[in-house]
Structure formats: C-alpha cells, structure tokens
C-alpha cells in the first residue's frame, strides 16, 4: 500500500537549554493518513493551531497543499520512503492532496 502519513505540529521542540531543535514538539496536534491515493485525494483540514506538518510518503507520490488542493503527477514529487516538513498557515483550513507517483 502507498499511504501518505501526515503529522501536524503547533510548535518547534526545544532542548533543556531552551534552544530550538529541528523537530516538532510532541505530542503532535494530530495525525492523518491519505490511504493509497490512486486519484488525487485530500486529507481532512489541518487543526487550527497547526503551524507545520511532517509528511511521509510510503511510496513515490505527488502532493499539493492548499485550501482545496488537487495533486497532479506532473508536480511536487516525493520519493518512496521520503519524509519532509512543510510550514502551513495556522487557522486557514489547509489540506494536503496526494496521488500515487512513479
């Protein structure tokens, strides 16, 4: 199965000296899965406090982020097993659309 995993975060984590580290602060705000998107499929709207997301593609895929996104096989490719972070505007009802890729 070629699922797309989305983890939503409101804040960056900090170490014991209060320095920011390149990780989301746990617990995450929410988690979603876009299951095996053979055609462009959207996630649910992100939580209103979500400021950035971590996206993991189980297999090659293409994504698009917006208020009513449609993913296309001609743009924004993620490789199999790839994980990326994206900033999103909090409280805007953004979603992620995904479609399987090659």
Give the Cα separation of 1 and 8 in Å (integer): 22
With bands split at pLDDT 50, 70 and 90, how would you rate the model's confidence at 83?
very high
pLDDT at 69: 97
SS3 annotation, 19-60: CEEEEECCCCCEEEEECCCCCCEECCCCCCCCCEEEEEECCC
Question: Stretch 96-102: mean pLDDT, rounded?
Answer: 93
pLDDT tens digit sequence for 51-75: 999 999 999 999 999 999 999 999 9
More confident residue, 1 or 81: 81
Instruction: Specify which residues 66 forms β-bridges with.
Output: 95
pLDDT at 1: 60
């Amino acid at each position: 199965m070629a699922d797309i995993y989305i983890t939503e975060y409101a804040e960056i984590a900090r170490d014991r000296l209060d320095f920011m580290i390149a990780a989301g602060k746990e617990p995450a705000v929410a988690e979603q899965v876009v299951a095996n998107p053979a055609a462009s499929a959207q996630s649910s709207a992100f939580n209103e406090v979500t400021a950035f997301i971590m996206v993991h593609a189980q297999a090659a895929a293409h994504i698009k982020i917006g208020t009513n996104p449609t993913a296309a096989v001609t743009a924004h490719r993620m490789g199999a097993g790839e994980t990326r972070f994206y900033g999103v505007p909090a409280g805007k009802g953004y979603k992620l659309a995904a479609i399987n890729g090659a």
